Structure 1
Amino acid sequence: MAFQEVVYRPVFGRALAVSTVVVCAVGIVALFWGDPAAALRYAWPIVLVAAVAWALFWRPTLRVQQHGITVENVLRTYFLPWPAIRRIETRYSLTLYTSRRKVPVWAAPAPGRHRTLGLARKDFDGVGESARGEFGELRPADAVTTPTGNLAQVIRGHWEQLRETGLLAAGEDPEAETATWHWATITVIGLLVAATAIGLLV
């Protein structure tokens, strides 16, 4: 059976990013319409809010791919090949552990208490054995009816299958696991912070 890539971007986060950017754009237009001179000073904080909203809510993405997992967070993107993965947890967010690092998946935070109320045994049907704790317990965020639990099970299912068929036996290649900083995002936000400070203080 051919591997089917999974790409997850939280709909609520992306909707929040779009709405924030739209509100900021309206605010900037209103500033320039009312007082162009003042807008040159006070528009920067609004642009900063829009940029941060984009980085926080639009960018985070999880890709489950044939040769590994790509986690795009706010300031860094990670590629974790399947042999590098040691543990998969869902305590605070979907989190992947390798021998080198801990990688939280910003796109998949653990569900809130209101979402996990009323979970039943059937919500955990199909959860892999690697999800269970020392005493066989499961966390509410492991429920496959929650986004975090569903994504965790997709990853666990393929990871356990590769392990059982011996395809992870060759071990990990330290050079294959990568972490890349989003320097453009960091630079833009840094410049906007500086412009905001200058506009408000000078």
Structure 2
Amino acid sequence: MNESVVLRPRFGIVITCLVWAVVVVCCIALFVQGDGFGALRYLPLFLLAGYLCWMLFWSPAVRIGTAGVVLRNIARSRDVSWAAIRDVDTKYTLTLDTPAGRLSAWAAPAPSRFAGMRAAKAELGHLPESTYGPGNSVRLGDIPSSDSGLAALHVRRQWERLRDAGALTAAPLEGTGVTTHWHRVELIVLGALVLASVAAQSF
């Protein structure tokens, strides 16, 4: 794998774009009306709504690269090396079993049962070996057309390729193989918007 693959929930992207469009329209309306007090009071609330939507539905992602998998969730990211992955699960969302515990991806939820009923049988063929259960069964969350299934497909392909090449055991695992990074800047911005919204309502 020469380039990283970044996956985000498709429904979340649509929701974020719609909310941002509403926020922009509301902000423009405030200034067009020329009500300075109203703009000062409600603008922080609109910005907070748009920012929260971005944090919940756009910012989270699953990045699959040469060094491993990055699970970017709402408040923090977990960098997981390939050697640290012991199993890949998709019961509720993409979940990696590691020495640091089971790590879930907010950006790769499993589909509903209705979505699973619409899955074509052609989707279930030629998947990575570790996808299949007893009797070549495929879990609902492993359907490639779903967010969890697409992420698991990319992860399993690279993980199995490295495993079969002996790369996962070639070097000893340092620690748990998992590094955590908190999204400090994003959390500070969120806190500032919350404080600004509360302060604006006190006028």
- How far off its partner does 1:184 sit? 1.1
- How far off its partner does 1:171 sit? 3.6
- How far off its partner does 1:65 sit? 0.7
Structure 2 residue runs without a partner (length 5+): none
Structure 1 residue runs without a partner (length 5+): none
Deviations 1:21-44 (A, max 9, x none): 221122122223332112212222
Q: Which residue of 2 aligns with 1:9?
A: 8
Q: Distance in 1 between matches of 2:173 and 2:161?
A: 16
TM-score relative to the length of structure 1: 0.86
- The amino acid across from 2:130 in the alignment is S
RMSD of the alignment, in Å? 2.3
Q: Number of aligned residue pairs: give it.
A: 201
Q: Which residue of 2 aligns with 1:21?
A: 20
Q: Distance in 2 between matches of 1:30 and 1:200?
A: 19
Q: Which residue of 1 aligns with 2:190?
A: 189
Q: Which residue of 2 aligns with 1:85?
A: 85
Deviations 1:57-103 (A, max 9, x none): 22122221112112222211221110011111111111122110332
Partner SS state of residue 55, structure 2: helix
Q: Distance in 1 between matches of 2:176 and 2:151?
A: 26
- How far off its partner does 1:107 sit? 2.1
Answer with 191-200 or 133-142: which moved more: 133-142
- The amino acid across from 2:7 in the alignment is Y
CA contact (8 A) 1:127 1:143 kept: no
Q: Distance in 1 between matches of 2:176 and 2:160?
A: 23
- The amino acid across from 2:98 in the alignment is T
CA spacing shift, 1:42–1:146, aligned 2, 3 Å: closer
TM-score relative to the length of structure 2: 0.86
CA contact (8 A) 1:61 1:72 kept: yes
- The amino acid across from 1:179 in the alignment is T
Partner SS state of residue 70, structure 2: strand
- How far off its partner does 1:186 sit? 0.7
Deviations 1:133-162 (A, max 9, x none): 578643112123434213212211221222
Q: Distance in 2 between matches of 1:196 and 1:16?
A: 22
Q: Distance in 2 between matches of 1:197 and 1:145?
A: 42
Q: Distance in 2 between matches of 1:150 and 1:186?
A: 29
Task: Percent identity, please.
Answer: 33
CA contact (8 A) 1:96 1:104 kept: yes
The alignment status of 1:152 with 2:180, answered yes or no, reads no
Q: Distance in 2 between matches of 1:158 and 1:189?
A: 36
